[in-house]
Structure 1
Amino acid sequence: MKRHSLHAFKAAPRRQRGAVLVLLTVAMVALLAMAALALDGGHLMVNKTRLQNAVDAAALSGAKTLSLAYGSTEAGSSSAAAAWRTLRANANAPGNEELAKALPAAGSESSFASVEFASSVYGPFSPTLPTDGRYVRVTVQNYGLAGFFWGILEMFTDSPPDKRVAAVAVAGPSPTAPCDLAPLLVCGDLSKPPTSTSTDFWGYKFGQLEVLKSTNWKDGDVGPGNFQLLDFGPGANALSEALEGGLNRCYSIGQEVTTEPGNKVGPVRSGFNTRFEGDTRDLVPYYDEPLLKYDDAFDPPITKSNQAVESNSSGDVYVVGGSSVYGYNDWRAAMAACTPTNNCPGAVAERRMLKIVVGNCDVPEASGEGIANAGKVDIPVLGFGCFFVLQPIAENGGGGGGGGGGGGGNESYIFGQFVEACNGDSYPGPNPSSDAGPQIIQLYKTYITPGQPGSDS
């Protein structure tokens, strides 16, 4: 039998070197591909997060500006400008150098990011602000990033994916139970609860004039000895501090608030007037003179120079058959004009907007049934209303009026105008806002359709 030599099966050294080169090449390509995934993937995720944060901030800024300018002709443009301004400010922040370069490369902020509006968080969104639009969507569709080893992917596919990220954010109002309440009470109409199809909020409509503090308990519905004041703490100083805005009291719908008997003219005036005077006055402290006065011969019981004062459904305030009266619409337009280059005469935004308890005054104690003097009364909370205050309380009794009003005890009224929504504090709720009252701006999940949430939100 012929023996085969084992040496016949050994590969030549040159062939071994060729196989090693192939293996090394494959290994190097694999290592580069892994580096591309690690380095470029990490870079992509970091910039995706940075872009999303910037877009979130832009949407919140736009929605906040929209809430302040809501109803004005400049609301849409002001909101969009605020969103783009915030996006640019975030791009210029440390660590966002690529984003800072991408904005001018796109030509403008509006080319890089779109700002759209809707009346519902579910859309439809459009660049034009609808009449009842309250929600803002900011979208960046295409943000290209620099690649490090991204080109290696071309070896594995004919059309490798571009290294790009996108982001979208929607922001708008959410109802909140406010803690920065004014120690005042208005009574709600139980026959007119708020509904999705009603313009009433417990009997109050947009622009409606209302007495927020009476000076004769017989003028109100709270009961004997009460002047629509609430007990936020012991002593007159607590009442004054609360009207100034220095005390927080949190209540929820269904809880009870306790009234504070007595007219308390001095503490009420000293606390309330800080909203018009001093270092903490409202950004726009303007009001008409002579001051408005109370006269129960009219409905609403408000006059100017002995002429009846009314308001319409658009929120305009006027003397019947005469001139206009400075009201919420005038203040809102002036607030919308406040910009970093156009400083307003005041100091603090929305000091003239009070969050007030709307209570169920249909209780035996409030009506005085079966008791000689109700004194303190526990009133169930129906909700929280936003009221714009028209004027300060005069320092003396001469020529005064309400809501201000005269400084005398019989004329120290507070007059307000009901507003559908205002900025609140506390915590936002999980659902978009459809009710009147204090609200807080928050981010929402983006929806492609009402039942289909977006993947990039």
Structure 2
Amino acid sequence: MMSTRIQQPLSAFPRQQRGAMLVLVVIALASMLLMGALALDGGHMLVNKSRLQNAVDAAALSGAKTLSTVMGTTGAATLAQTAALNTLTLNASASGNQELATAIGNNVGGFATVELASTVYGPFSFPGPANASYVRVTVTNYSLAGFFWGVFQTLGNGVGNKFVSAVATAGPSPASPCDLTPLMVCGDPTKNNPATGMFWGFQFGDAQVLKTAAGNSSPIGPGNFQLLDFGSGGSTVRQGLAGGITQCNSVGSNVQTKPGNTVGPASQGLNTRFNQYSGGLSAANYPPDLVITTNSKSFTYDDTLAQIQYNNQAVTSSSGNLSAGGSALYDYNNWVQESANCVAGGGGGCQSGGAFERRIIKIVIGDCSGKNDGASSIPVLGFACYFVLQPASQKGNEAQIFGQFEKVCEGDNVPGPNPANTTGPQIIQLYKTYIDNSQTPSTDS
């Protein structure tokens, strides 16, 4: 007896497989859409993180730069904060940053926090310490449009709102004293104790003769008037006193003195800082200081008494405040306040087209011990920043320059990663942000 074998139609198997394949295709498409959504939102976050960081970096630099120009004056912290927030707002208003501008709205102070500290490691606060020189700008929550972000949130896994954050710290870094003025004061190697405020015999606020006149006893030696040889004669002296040459020296090296008074070129160069021009110099190349205020009478030097005088009275200094015969004189402290007012836009008497700190000159502190006749090689002890008290008044062979010692200008020849912990030539730069006093670096800076 033969059994009947029933065969399944060949077309049934493909129909079953088509159903399974449809499910796989749907899953694959969903996965691709999810990956595309993730790429879209992730890319959106990355772009806005970069834009925010750039804006915060610029804000910190602006705040630190402003702070460096108004440090020690009333409201310095507020001026630095305002500068930082204004810069952040300006960046948000730039093309392509509409989303950032919308997030800031009219409340930039609520969007970003500006804090100050005396060291790059903090602690940061507002208004911060009186000697603050570092500025930190922080944005903790910059909310972004979600696009497909809601899909990830529905999947769980602790996915929160879509936002980015950024933080930046800026402050001073030592730079090279390569804009030296061809002048030198003679320091005392035995009198250098920064802990007590003594630098090679000089203290903050001391009035000093920076260029002697004919008939005065030269601290360097006969025939020298505290000028240095940075090049070819009077022309270099003129440009150097105006601030138009680049000259780099380092502690421990030697500088060459320049014998001769060179009265005319020295006066012509220095006086550009007071908006006085001659000898082919112009304001276009050598702008005046923001503030050119001086005392009504000129300082003089009594060589017999070895004494700087004003109106025939000895000039004395107390915490940078100069006086003569019991009367206060216009000095470095007055100039600092007026300059800060000019930077803040609220001061009178500011020079149109003036430049900040043109009345601050950096000169060599030399070891003039020993006999120094004619052209001499003098060891460099350090560098000093002096506030120029008045224009050089040329009278025959006299063209004395008077300054007020501000600080030492050390510098390490190049800007670097280490924060400036000394005074001197500086630039404002960004630093890694540290989130605690243990110097733990932030991942957002």
Q: TM-score, normalised by structure 1?
A: 0.87
Per-residue CA distance 1:121-180 (angstroms, 9 max, x = gap): 111111113121111111111111123322231243254232211111111111222221
Partner of 1:251, secondary structure, is coil
The amino acid of 2:34's aligned partner reads A
TM superposition shift of 1:450: 3.7
Q: CA-to-partner distance for each residue in 1:299-338, whole Å, 9 max, x for gaps?
A: 7x2211111212212x22222422x111111111111111
Structure 2 equivalent of residue 288 of structure 1? 295
Say if 1:152 and 1:17 are closer, same or farther in 2 by CA, change over 3 A: farther
Quote the residue 2:213 is aligned against.
215
Which stretch of the first structure deviates more once superposed, 222-231 or 21-30?
Answer: 21-30
* Alpha carbons of structure 1 residues 44 and 423: separation in structure 2 relative to 1, 3 Å: farther
Match of 1:53 in 2: 54
Aligned to 1:399: none
1:8–1:87 distance in 2 versus 1, CA, 3 Å: same
1:92-111 matches, cutoff 5 A: 92-104=93-105, 107-111=106-110
Paired residue for 1:124?
123
The CA distance in 2 between the partners of 1:2 and 1:276, in whole Å, is: 123
CA distance in 2, matches of 1:130, 1:350: 24
Instruction: Tell me whether 13-22 or 43-52 shows the greater mean CA deviation.
Output: 13-22
CA-to-aligned-CA distance 1:68-88 (integer Å, 9 cap, x gap): 111101211111111111111
Residue 440 in structure 1 maps to residue 427 in structure 2: yes
Aligned to 2:329: 325
Tell whether 2:194 aligns with 1:232: no
- Distance in 1 between residues matched to 2:258 and 2:70, nearest whole Å: 35
Shift of 1:384: 2.0
Q: Is the 8 A contact 1:180 1:425 kept in 2?
A: no
Residues 176-195 of structure 1: pairs in structure 2 closer than 5 A: 176-193=175-192, 195=194
Cα offsets for 1:226-246 (capped at 9, x unmatched): 111111111211110111111
| Contact preservation (8 Å) 2:174, 2:415 | yes
Matched residue, 1:307: 313
Post-superposition shift, 1:187?
2.3
- Whether 1:255 and 2:253 are equivalent positions in the alignment is yes
C-alpha offsets along residues 242-284 of structure 1, whole Å, 9 cap, x if unaligned?
1111111122222222111111111111111111014321111
Equivalents in 1 of 2:7, 2:356: separation in Å?
95
CA distance in 2, matches of 1:239, 1:37: 66
Mapped contact 2:393–2:400 kept (Cα < 8 A): no
Give yes or no for contact 2:364–2:382 (8 Å, CA) kept in 1. Answer: yes
* Structure 2 residue runs without a partner (length 5+): 277-282
Query: Residue 339 of structure 2 is aligned with which of 335, 340, 355?
Result: 335
- Matches for 1:133-212 after TM superposition, within 5 Å: 133-157=132-156, 159-193=158-192, 195=194, 197-212=195-210
> 2:397 maps to which residue?
409
Moved more, 111-120 or 223-232: 223-232
Alpha-carbon spacing, 1:328–1:159, altered in 2? closer, same or farther (3 Å): same
The change in CA–CA distance for 1:125 and 1:208 in structure 2 (over 3 A counts) is: same
Q: How does 1:386-401 map to 2 (within 5 A)?
A: 386-395=385-394
Q: Letter of the aligned partner of 1:268 in structure 2? A: A
Q: Is the 8 A contact 1:207 1:316 kept in 2?
A: yes
Rate the CA distance shift 1:200–1:171 in 2: closer, same or farther, 3 A. farther
Q: CA deviation at 1:455?
A: 1.7
CA spacing shift, 1:96–1:4, aligned 2, 3 Å: farther
How far has the Cα of 1:2 moved from its partner?
Answer: 8.9
- CA gap 1:258/1:16 in 2 versus in 1, 3 angstroms: same
Which residue pairs with 1:30 in the alignment? 31
* 1:5–1:177 distance in 2 versus 1, CA, 3 Å: farther
Encode CA deviations 1:375-413: one digit per residue, 9 max, x unaligned: 122222232221110110225xxxxxxxxxxx3324x21
Are the counterparts in 2 of residues 309 and 318 from structure 1 also a CA contact under 8 Å? yes
Aligned 8 A contact 1:284 1:345 in 2: yes
2:406 is equivalent to residue 419 of structure 1: yes
CA distance in 2, matches of 1:96, 1:46: 10
CA distance, structure 2, for counterparts of residue 298 and residue 108 of structure 1: 62
Q: Match of 1:454, as an amino acid?
A: S
Percent identity over the alignment? 51
The alpha carbon displacement at 1:29 in A equals 2.5
What's the secondary structure of 2:298's corresponding residue? coil
Q: Which runs of 4+ in 1 moved over 6 A?
A: 1-6, 8-14, 421-426
1:360 matched to 2:361? The reply is: no
Distance 2:304 2:326 in 1: 17
> Which amino acid in the other structure matches residue 27 of structure 1?
A
Q: Please state whether the residue corresponding to 2:336 is helix, strand or coil.
A: helix
Look up the SS of the partner of 1:453 in the other structure: coil
Partners of 1:425 and 1:440 within 8 A in 2: no
* Cα shift at 1:35: 1.4
Distance in 1 between residues matched to 2:61 and 2:72, nearest whole Å: 18
CA distance in structure 2 between the partners assigned to 1:181 and 1:6 by the alignment: 104
Amino acid in structure 1 at the alignment position of 2:357 = E
Aligned pair partner of 2:321 in 299, 316, 324: 316
For residue 447 of structure 1, give the secondary structure of its aligned residue in structure 2. coil
CA contact (8 A) 1:231 1:260 kept: yes
Q: Does 1:243 align with 2:244?
A: no
1:276 corresponds in structure 2 to 274
Counterpart mapping for 1:376-387 below 5 A: 376-387=375-386
Letter in 1 for 2:212: S
Match of 1:80 in 2: 81
The residue number in structure 1 matching 2:279 is: none
